[in-house]
Amino acid sequence: MTITAVGAGVTGCASRVPEVTTAAPPTVVCGTVLSESIAGPVVFDATRRLPVIRHLTVGDVLMFRVARGCDEGADVSWVPSTAAHLVKAAYARDGQMAAVVLKPDGPHASFRLTGTRNGRVVASVMVKLAS
């Protein structure tokens, strides 16, 4: 097997020094900064089919997108409600949640997050944190 690397040049930048950073940009959903961690947290898209979530992201939290855009959000709940608490939310234009940041209430937390709009489930994910 032969592996070939092809270099690509950048044009139009001869007079500028490129800005180099090792930090991730802020995590923003619908204009709300959910995280400014330089490590770049994972935001799980609960509007799509996901495997069971077993690990936390940066900051020992879980971040979920519960709406596909910023026009219409979802009414979000998790069961049992004592398994996690809301740290931050991003809201869609209709005032409903578009994304949530949850802090599990223990290292073995287990809960189902559900987002509904007009009585229809639009986001769902199961969390069972691994020990």
Angle (nearest 5°) at CA 53 between 59 and 126: 120
Rounded Cα distance, 7 and 12, in Å: 16
Count of residues in the chain:
131
Rounded Cα distance, 123 and 65, in Å: 8
- Cα–Cα distances (Å) from 125 to 13, 39, 52, 111, 113, in that order, read 45, 24, 7, 9, 5
Phi/psi at 111 (5° precision): -160, 165
- Residues 10-48 have pLDDT tens digits of 444 455 666 666 778 899 999 999 999 888 899 999 999
Rounded Cα distance, 66 and 76, in Å: 8
Q: What is the pTM of this model?
A: 0.81
- Residues 46-86 have pLDDT tens digits of 999 999 999 999 999 999 999 999 999 999 999 999 999 99
